[in-house]
Amino acid sequence: MDDPRPCRDPKEQHAWAATAAGTLRVLEGKWKIVIIVQLLASDEPLRFSELERRIPGVTQKMLIQQLKELEKDGIVIRTLYPQVPPKVEYSLSELGRALTPSFQALVEWSYLKERRLEGCSVA
């Protein structure tokens, strides 16, 4: 495994850590990870109601709130079709899709952690 550190100079490391942590704060929020994973897992853009259906337990308020923040941060794209009844689709931006490798790695890690918790052989 490669050295994760872009630089060994302590002051640079510090700046690096701070930047990373700051940027990653856009992923904070109880439902953002699930939303992104659902959009990653889907071939096509998802309608608001479809997201709501796929994310059990979320309320409309929370869903719209987190989607708005993700949109503001340039991660998801909202497309409104001016129809009656209204139709809105959400998809990942290029920046959002660039999260793919990170999420792949995190999902693998989550499997590792789950295996550790259960202490059993899922494989």
Partner DNA sequence: CCGTATCCTTCTAGATACTG
Partner DNA sequence: CAGTATCTAGAAGGATACGG
Q: DSSP letters of the chain?
A: -----S---HHHHHHHHHHHHHHHGGG-STTHHHHHHHHHH-SS-EEHHHHHHHSTT--HHHHHHHHHHHHHTTSEEEEEE--SS-EEEEEE-HHHHTTHHHHHHHHHHHHHHHHHHHTS---
Which region, judged by CB under 7 A, interacts with DNA, from 82-90, 91-99, 102-110, 111-119? 82-90
Contact status: 113 vs a copy of itself (CB under 8 A): yes
Contact status: 72 vs a copy of itself (CB under 8 A): no
Contact status: 64 vs DNA (CB under 7 A): yes
With CB cut-offs between 5 and 8 Å by kind, which of a copy of itself, DNA, none does residue 48 bind? DNA
Q: Which residue ranges make up the site for DNA (CB under 7 A)?
A: 28-31, 47-50, 57-62, 64, 66, 78, 80, 85-89
